[in-house]
């Protein structure tokens, strides 16, 4: 399977809230996953460890961030790094509608397994991730 297809599975997991069993075969047991809001390095970040942590990251995106759909619009592979980007739709609790935000994913491979996943969401409005979620 091509790395771009694996990235598409990761992105789909973010939109749907479900990690496919097939995807888990490409993930290291020691994977470090992170989700970052905003565009500044000092913005809030949440980290998750292992496959269980990856499932928690996906659940966090669906439940806490209220991601309801999305689309990967591009992918760049450079040696052991893959950068995917696209848009997600966020449910807006205030307006009972949805807002669009852009995202970027950096997946790092060692051999045939992903050892690091970093998801950055550029919000359409200022927001900080709730550390208690």
For residue 127, what pLDDT is reported? 47
Q: Is there a contact between 70 and 83 (Cβ–Cβ < 8 Å)?
A: no
- The residues, ordered by sequence, that sit 6+ positions from 87 with a Cβ below 8 Å of its Cβ are 70, 71, 73, 100, 101, 102, 103
For residue 43, what pLDDT is reported? 57
Identify the structural domains of the chain with CATH numbers, from first to last.
3-122 (3.10.450.50)
Q: For the chain, what is the mean pLDDT?
A: 86
User: What is the rounded distance in angstroms from the CA atom of residue 126 to the CA atom of residue 87?
Assistant: 17
- The residues, ordered by sequence, that sit 6+ positions from 69 with a Cβ below 8 Å of its Cβ are 15, 88, 89
For residue 125, what pLDDT is reported? 52
| Structure token digits, residue 109 | 């491979």
Distances (CA, A) of 74 to 3, 16, 85: 13, 19, 5
Dump pLDDT digits (tens) for 51-88: 999 999 999 998 888 899 999 999 999 999 999 999 99
Q: What is the mean pLDDT of residues 114-133?
A: 70
For residue 23, what pLDDT is reported? 92
pLDDT higher than 80, residue 92: no
pLDDT higher than 50, residue 132: no
Looking at the chain, the whole-number percentage of residues with pLDDT higher than 70 is 83
């Amino acid at each position: 399977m091509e790395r771009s297809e694996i990235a598409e599975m990761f992105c789909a997991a973010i939109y749907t809230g479900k990690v496919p069993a097939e995807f888990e075969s490409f993930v290291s047991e020691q994977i470090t996953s992170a989700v970052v809001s905003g565009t500044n390095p000092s913005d809030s970040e949440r980290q998750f460890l292992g496959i269980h942590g990856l499932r928690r990251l996906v659940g966090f995106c669906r439940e806490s961030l209220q991601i309801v759909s999305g689309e990967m619009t591009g992918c760049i592979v450079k040696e052991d790094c893959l950068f995917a980007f696209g848009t997600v739709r966020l449910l807006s609790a205030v307006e009972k509608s949805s807002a669009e935000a852009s995202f970027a994913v950096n997946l790092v491979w060692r051999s045939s397994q992903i050892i690091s996943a970093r998801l950055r969401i550029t919000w359409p409005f200022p927001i900080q991730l709730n550390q208690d979620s």
